[in-house]
Amino acid sequence: MRQVQLDRLSENLREGLELARKVLASNRWNVYKNLQLARKMERLEKNVWRFVNGPMQAHVLADVHHLRFQMAESFDRLENSAKRVEQRLGAMNIGWGVEGAVGICGIGGSGKTTLANEICRDDEVRSHFQNRILFLTVSQSPNLEQLRANIWRFVSGSDFVAEGVNDVITKWNPQFNLRIGPRMLVVLDDVWSLSVLEQLIFRVPGCQTLVVSRFKFPTVLSDTYEVELLKGEEAISLFCLSAFGQKSVPPAADANLVKQIVNECKGLPLALKVIGASLRDQPEMYWASAKKRLSKGEPICESHESKLLDRMAISIQFLSKKVRECFLDLGCFPEDKKIPLDVLINMWVEIHDLDEEEAFAILVELSDKNLLTLVKDARAGDLYSSYYEISITQHDVLRDLAIHLANHGNVNERKRLLMARREAEVPKEWVRSADLPFHAQIVSIHTGEMGEMEWFQMDFPKTEVLIVNFSANEYFLPPFIDNMPNLRALIVINYSTQNATLHFSVFSDLANLKSLWLEKVSVAQLTESTIPLKNLQKISLILCKINNSLDQSVIDLAQIFPSLSQLTIDHCDDLIKLPLSICRMHSLKSLSITNCPNLKEIPTNLGNLRFLQILRLYACPTLKMLPSSICELVSLKYLDISQCINLKSLPEKMGKLSMLEKIDMRNAQRFGNYQLQSSL
């Protein structure tokens, strides 16, 4: 998808070069021809401008987001932050007892997590714990098995968690015998429940626990620090940083109006940042309107925290309609989880009638307004990075705001039908309303294990995106998928520690499906009776068990997926070889097989993919050779064989790849990293 954008930009630039030559050669007296050339120049400038202000900005923002985050968050406490951290550490005695648990509490958006991160970065703390610090996010829908296993690995110093180890971990309280080792700090962020916290506290000598929550837990914690809200100049400085890019009110601004708006934010760092960013570069009347709206959203009888969503909603009201709709879509994903950018871009393109450049521009705008954060992994950043190497995070208060705004109105008429938290069954509100069709464009489900008989029949005539989030070892997709005739994108993500067996029987009627994302599931065996998905263009299998489901002796992939243009298989450790039928998928433009440690064989006829532009074989350590037919990939522009440590050489006739622009060989045994010039 990203490569298509780059190809389009490259083509535009080539056209621009040719157009410039024509302009230079044109007779100045040929008015008609010069007018035509001028109009072409204007169209070219517009196309380049859209790319520069969309995709390029998104990647630039992601590259620098760490710097922006640290800079902005440091103003949550502004001056003397190091001194204040030391004072708070001293007040709570973090780390200086033999073992125990202390806490940080405060309302949503008050900077609790920021303070916890500052504590973890503090030199004195890191020295005391010898850099043995574990930071875990718990959330309202925690995976206790996974969290306990992570803490077990950290405390025991072992990466291996045997089957049944949770039976041992269940008894890990004060009586648990573990030899005294180096001092350790475990940070549990976003804890909502005492019962959950009690299962995560590991009381052994030398292990200290820091709990970050909106609530106090006096029966478990020996001491709790309550985060103070910002006051006076601190609040103004943080607001000004977001609104003006500086710490103080600029001379041209109305200082009194700025102070009034800051006062309405009530000292909440998150509200100051988001509302400040929403007012950046806006006229004074816009500011006055915002101040008026903020003041109306504060009934005296309500508590401080219950008014937060009303104040935050002001910043959303000033967004354009499409940008606002895209923001509300973020509430469809679980709290405290990274959202793959590929999933989000696909969704926006399908349901909001956007092209990819517009979707990126909206992403940039939401990031600029502090409504989301872009995060890149360590590898991303070059021209051929794919979207799934970038992810999105969002503060839980902003997610709550998106859900709060999306849940207005009759449940059957809502544009987004959401399960905000993981639940054991379908919400009763849905069941009570199932007699009438649901007109939601997006449906988001978040459950535990669901059997075939636990679902209810519901009608979704307008649904275009279905997001299924679950945590289970076995899962039946809801039968009402059959009642989604317009479904275009299906996203299935398992958050359990083990791969789930996923039942695909309902796939028979997904004639309009264009995008399929499966994560951490065991893919069911496809058979000859599988009805072709004629419109499916993208398949992503992430952390899946393939289980020979792609066995060419049973099925013909080219027949089942005749329009597939992008196939991604990532972290699938049981993939040994690619099926031969992949070589007949002539519509394929991007093939990414990454982090598959047991992949040993690439089909010899891979060269039949005449339209393949991107081939990634990243981190496939058992792959020893590439087929010579790879030299027949006449459209290939990018080849990634980095971290294929047992790949000894390239086919001899690589020079035949006239369109090839780059071969990535980072960390391969005998290769360096070099760039090839594109043949124009």
376-411: pLDDT as tens digits? 765 444 555 555 567 888 887 788 888 888 888 899
Two tokens at 219? 């029966």
45-99: pLDDT as tens digits? 777 777 666 665 555 555 444 434 444 444 444 334 445 545 555 555 554 444 5
Q: What is the pLDDT of residue 404?
A: 82
**Complete DSSP assignment for 593-625:** EES-TT--B--TTGGG-TT--EEE-TT-TT---
Cβ-proximal residues to 296 (8 Å cutoff; 6+ apart), any chain? none
By mean pLDDT, which of 135-144, 453-462, 468-477, 547-556 is the weakest?
547-556
Alpha helices, DSSP H, located in 352-450: 356-368, 396-406, 428-432
593-614: pLDDT as tens digits? 999 999 998 999 999 999 999 9
Taking residue 357's Cβ as centre, other Cβ atoms within 10 Å add up to 21
Specify the 3-state DSSP secondary structure of 662.
strand
Question: Looking at domain 75-157+180-226, does it have CATH number 3.40.50.300?
Answer: yes
**Complete DSSP assignment for 521-554:** EEPPPP-TTSPP-TT--EEEEES-B-TTTT-TTT
By mean pLDDT, which of 162-166, 195-199, 594-598 is the weakest?
162-166
Q: What is the pLDDT of residue 414?
A: 92
Q: Tell me the average pLDDT across 330-356.
A: 88
Phi-psi region of 409 (alpha: psi -120 to 50; beta: other; left: phi over 0): left
The CA angle 452-454-455, to the nearest 5 degrees, is 85
Alpha-carbon span 104 to 88, nearest angstrom: 10
Q: Tell me the average pLDDT across 160-164.
A: 47
549-595: pLDDT as tens digits? 666 555 678 888 899 999 999 999 889 988 888 888 999 999 999 99
Q: What is the pLDDT of residue 587?
A: 93
Q: Tell me the average pLDDT across 155-161.
A: 66
By mean pLDDT, which of 39-48, 212-221, 279-288, 629-638 is the weakest?
39-48
Residue whose token pair is 């029987």: 505
Q: Tell me the average pLDDT across 466-472.
A: 91
Q: What is the pLDDT of residue 413?
A: 93
Q: Tell me the average pLDDT across 325-335.
A: 91
Domains 75-157+180-226 and 527-533+544-669 share a fold: no
481-527: pLDDT as tens digits? 888 999 999 999 998 888 888 876 555 567 889 999 999 998 876 66
- The helix (run of H) or strand (run of E) holding residue 168 is helix 165-169
Q: Would you say residue 275 has pLDDT above 50? A: yes
Q: What is the pLDDT of residue 614?
A: 94
Q: Would you say residue 362 has pLDDT above 50? A: yes
Q: What is the pLDDT of residue 443?
A: 94
Contact 664, 640 (CB under 8 A): yes
Two tokens at 298? 């504060």
Q: Would you say residue 285 has pLDDT above 70? A: yes
Contact 108, 308 (CB under 8 A): yes
Q: What is the pLDDT of residue 472?
A: 87
Q: What is the pLDDT of residue 298?
A: 41
Question: Looking at domain 319-391, does it have CATH number 1.10.10?
Answer: yes
Q: Would you say residue 673 has pLDDT above 50? A: no
Q: Would you say residue 159 has pLDDT above 70? A: no
Cβ-proximal residues to 564 (8 Å cutoff; 6+ apart), any chain? 536, 537, 538, 539, 557, 585, 587, 588
- Choose among 80, 212, 66: nearest CA to 139: 212
Phi-psi region of 204 (alpha: psi -120 to 50; beta: other; left: phi over 0): beta
The superfamily CATH assigns to domain 527-533+544-669 is Ribonuclease Inhibitor (3.80.10.10)
Q: What is the pLDDT of residue 591?
A: 95
Q: What is the pLDDT of residue 675?
A: 38
- Choose among 184, 192, 198: nearest CA to 130: 184
Specify the 3-state DSSP secondary structure of 455.
coil
225-240: pLDDT as tens digits? 888 878 888 888 988 9
Q: Would you say residue 666 has pLDDT above 60? A: yes
Specify the 3-state DSSP secondary structure of 162.
coil
pLDDT band at 462 (very low <50, low <70, confident <90, very high): very high
Q: What is the pLDDT of residue 179?
A: 52
Amino acid identity of residue 404, one-letter, is H
**Complete DSSP assignment for 293-332:** HHHHT--TTS-TGGGHHHHHHHHHHTS-HHHHHHHHHGGG
Please tell me what DSSP assigns to residue 577.
B
Q: What is the pLDDT of residue 234?
A: 86
Q: Would you say residue 425 has pLDDT above 60? A: yes
Write down the domain spans for the chain: 1-54, 75-157+180-226, 319-391, 527-533+544-669
Q: Tell me the average pLDDT of the chain.
A: 79
- Phi and psi at 601, nearest 5°, equal -140, 135
Q: Would you say residue 669 has pLDDT above 70? A: no
Contacts 24+ apart (CB under 8 A), 582-588: 582/557, 582/558, 582/606, 582/609, 583/608, 583/609, 584/556, 584/557, 584/558, 584/608, 585/557, 585/558, 585/561, 585/609, 586/558, 586/610, 586/611, 587/562, 587/563, 587/611, 588/564, 588/612
3-state secondary structure 76-128: CCCCCHHHHHHHHHHHHCCCCCCCEEEEEECCCCCCHHHHHHHHHHCHHHHHH
Q: What is the pLDDT of residue 637?
A: 93
Q: Would you say residue 297 has pLDDT above 60? A: no
Q: What is the pLDDT of residue 520?
A: 92
Q: Would you say residue 466 has pLDDT above 90? A: yes
Q: Would you say residue 167 has pLDDT above 50? A: no
Q: What is the pLDDT of residue 41?
A: 77
pLDDT band at 448 (very low <50, low <70, confident <90, very high): confident
Q: What is the pLDDT of residue 518?
A: 93
Alpha-carbon span 115 to 331, nearest angstrom: 25
